Structures are given as structure tokens and as C-alpha cells.
């Protein structure tokens, strides 16, 4: 098994073993930190996944962003090409469970948006390093997307999810900022 795969599995095991109350506490801390970020405050359109249980909860973030008049765009995975199409949505009946048990916008009900019309993209990940490189779920969906994305990128993770260095492939792309329960880390370009 590749080193990335081993690291990914180890961290997934750790995260899934966290007691519910700790997960909730961490997610709340990450949310609060995110709201203080100028990147969040300035963004008019936010690209964000609708979280599954293993990810940091994004439901409150989506709600908060809407309260502040921001648009929410969420991705739908195109399995055949391993690409993602983002759609703006604002009602529960515009989303449904799709690829890999992830809630996604329904193309007929939500509004497609070009990735580069998203101001701030929250990039999910399982492990990050100090240079912003990440290990995701292994599909390469975000690496493909980031290759053409011109907006700002940010990831939420707890300190435990940050390591010194992650093995990099030529197609791996870093995020620009990490927000943990303790700090905001701007990655130098
Ligand atoms: N820009 C790209 N074009 C073509 N294939 C790519 C590209 N980026 C990644 N891939 C492919 O995607 C696969 C998975 O990549 P990787 O293991 O880095 O996933 P990941 O970063 O964990 O996933 P994700 O980006 O979905 O979070 C690799 O086998 C790689 O060949
Ligand atoms: Mg990658």
C-alpha cells in the first residue's frame, strides 16, 4: 500500500474514533475561527461540501453564510470523468444523497455555477502538511479541480490532522490557508 493510503487510513480511523462530544466541540471551534477570517467575511459565494459524518460539520457554516447573504455552491461528482460541477442551492429539496453517500445538489433543481465564480472554496481533506498539501479521499477530484481554479482555497482541520510533510505526486495541489481549532495558517506562496 502506498504511504499516502496508509496515512489516510490511519487518520480516518483516528477521526472516526473521536467521541461525539469531542467532534462537536472541535467542529464548533473550527466554525468560530472560520467566521473571524477575512476570507470568509469577504466571500460572496462559498464553495462547500455538505458534510458526511466523518467530515467536520458544514451545516452550521452553510447556515451562517446564508444569514450573511452569501451564496452557497456545493459540488456534484461526475464519476466517469472524476470531475466536479458546482451548483448554487438554498433549499433542502435541491439536494439529495448521491455519489459515495454524499449529499449533492440535484442538477435539475439547483443552479450550475462555474468554479471560478466561487470566491472561496473550502477544500475537504483528511491530512494536511505545513505547505498546504493534502491527502483527500483518494479520487483526485479536488486535485483536478484546483488545477484550473483561480479563487481562494481554505481547509478546516484540527491540529492532529497536520503533519510535517505529505508525500507529493506531480498532480497534488496545496490549499492557501488552513484553519485549525487553534490558529489560521496562511501558506506562503
Ligand atoms: N489533474 C489531474 N489530472 C488527471 N488525474 C489526476 C489529476 N489529479 C489527480 N489525478 C489522479 O487522481 C488519483 C487520486 O489522487 P490522490 O491520491 O492525490 O487523491 P486525493 O488528493 O486524496 O483526492 P481528492 O483530490 O479527491 O481529495 C491519482 O491516481 C491521480 O492519477
Ligand atoms: Mg491529491
pLDDT at 1: 79
Closest CA to 161 of 6, 14, 3, 57: 14
Mean pLDDT computed over every residue of the chain = 97
**pLDDT tens for each residue of 60-69:** 999 999 999 9
Pocket test for ligand 1, best of 84, 123, 135, 140 (most atoms within 8 A of CB): 140
Sign of the CA dihedral with 11 first, then 49, 30, and 36 last: positive
135 CA → ligand 2 middle, Å = 5
**pLDDT tens for each residue of 9-67:** 999 999 999 999 999 999 999 999 999 999 999 999 999 999 999 999 999 999 999 99
**pLDDT tens for each residue of 130-141:** 999 999 999 999
What value does the mean pLDDT take over residues 160-184? 97
pLDDT over 90 (residue 111): yes
pLDDT at 112: 98
pLDDT at 189: 81
Residue 92 pLDDT level (bands cut at 50, 70, 90):
very high
pLDDT at 36: 97
Q: What is the DSSP string of 72-134?
A: EEEEEEETTTTEEEEEE--SGGGEEE-GGG-EEE-TTTSEEE-GGG-SEEE---SEEETTS-E
178 CA → ligand 2 middle, Å = 16
3-state SS, 120-170, equals: EEECCCCEEECCCCEECCCCCHHHHHHCCCCCEEEEECCHHHEECCCCCCC
Calpha distance 117→162 (Å, rounded): 29
- For residue 135, which atom of ligand 1 is closest to its CA? 22
Q: Other C-beta atoms within 10 Å of 54: how many?
A: 13
Domains of the chain: 3-186 (3.40.50.10420)
Kindly report the protein residue whose alpha carbon is nearest to atom 31 of ligand 1. Answer: 140
Q: Give percent of the chain with pLDDT exceeding 90.
A: 97
pLDDT at 99: 86
Tell me, using a 6 A CB cutoff, whether residue 1 lines ligand 1. Answer: no
- For residue 169, which atom of ligand 1 is closest to its CA? 18
The ligand with the least distance to the CA atom of 140 is 1
Amino acid at each position: 500500500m502506498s504511504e499516502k493510503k496508509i496515512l489516510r487510513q490511519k487518520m480516518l480511523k483516528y477521526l472516526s474514533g473521536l467521541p461525539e462530544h469531542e467532534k462537536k466541540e472541535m467542529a464548533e471551534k473550527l466554525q468560530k475561527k472560520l467566521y473571524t477570517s477575512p476570507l470568509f467575511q469577504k466571500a460572496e459565494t462559498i464553495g462547500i461540501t455538505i458534510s458526511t459524518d466523518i467530515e467536520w460539520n458544514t451545516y452550521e457554516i452553510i447556515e451562517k453564510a446564508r444569514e450573511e447573504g452569501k451564496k452557497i455552491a456545493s459540488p456534484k461528482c461526475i464519476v466517469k470523468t472524476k470531475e466536479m460541477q458546482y451548483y448554487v442551492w438554498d433549499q433542502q429539496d435541491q439536494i439529495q444523497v448521491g455519489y459515495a453517500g454524499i449529499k449533492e445538489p440535484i442538477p435539475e433543481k439547483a443552479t450550475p455555477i462555474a468554479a471560478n465564480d466561487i470566491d472561496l472554496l473550502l477544500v475537504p481533506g483528511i491530512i494536511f502538511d505545513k505547505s498546504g498539501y493534502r491527502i483527500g479521499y483518494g479520487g483526485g477530484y479536488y486535485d483536478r479541480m484546483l488545477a484550473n481554479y483561480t479563487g481562494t482555497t481554505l481547509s478546516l482541520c484540527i491540529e492532529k490532522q497536520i503533519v510535517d510533510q505529505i508525500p507529493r505526486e506531480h498532480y497534488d495541489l496545496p490549499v492557501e490557508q488552513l484553519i485549525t481549532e487553534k490558529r489560521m495558517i496562511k501558506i506562503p506562496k
